[in-house]
A and B are shown apart, each in its own frame.
Chain A
Amino acid sequence: QVQLVESGGGVVQPGRSLRLSCAASGFTFSIYAIHWVRQAPGKGLEWVAVMTYDGSIQLYADSVKGRFTMSRDNSNNILYLQLNNLRADDTALYYCARVDGVGAFDIWGQGTMVTVSS
């Protein structure tokens, strides 16, 4: 079964850090770029970041650049998103998503919730 499973979310104070994980199964993880997309409570979808299949290229939304960092371990089929210096407006459900050959998100995880609050 092709799937992505996120974990690592939680409640954290402003300025603190969190690391999210995205575990893949059922497909050849090492040949796909993976993205993070977030959704604030009651709001729409916001693209956050992407890492290429081999980890050589990462791109980030301006809203998280310099604070969030992606990494991946292709030998264990897992991707990470390190969230530093968290702010209240980072509060959201964070999804990892696989992208296909034409740039569509064809597989999504169930999401992991990050709440930034004092």
Chain B
Amino acid sequence: EIVLTQSPDFQSVTPKDKVTITCRASQDIGNSLNWYQQKPDQSPKLLIKYASQSFSGVPSRFSGSGSGTDFTLTIDSLEAEDAATYYCHQSSRFPWTFGQGTKVEIK
């Protein structure tokens, strides 16, 4: 099973800050890495697919990068509405797996 490790687990940030969340895979997964945002009592929403492709309708302040084992989700100029938990997810090999999540709190 491919293990995805996100860091940090928690981040407290101020609006307009730049936020960087990393996801490290235990094996090479190429570009098969996706990012989701989940707000309290809501379903997850796709932000970035295939490591760096923005999903339709997602604000341009969200971007993804990386390949192989190391990936990054960046939020440029954070807005209050971005308070959420963010998950990475690999679809390279079954069983598909998720990172443990990174909670972003607004100060």
Contact = CB atoms under 8 A, between A and B. Distances in A.
Interface stretch (A24-32, A66-74, A96-104): A96-104
B87 A44 contact: yes
Interface in A67-118: 95, 99-100, 102-106, 108-111
B91 interface: yes
B53 A106 contact: no
B46 A47 contact: no
A108 B44 CA distance: 7
Contacts, number: 61
Nearest to B49: A104
Given A45-B98, A47-B97, A102 B43 contact: no
B48 to A, nearest CB: 8
Contacts of A110: 43
Contacts of A100: 49
A106 B91 contact: no
Interface in A17-53: 35, 44-47, 50
A59 interface: yes
Interface of A: 35, 44-47, 50, 59, 61-62, 95, 99-100, 102-106, 108-111
7 contacts: A45-B38, A45-B89, A59-B94, A61-B95, A100-B49, A103-B32, A108-B44
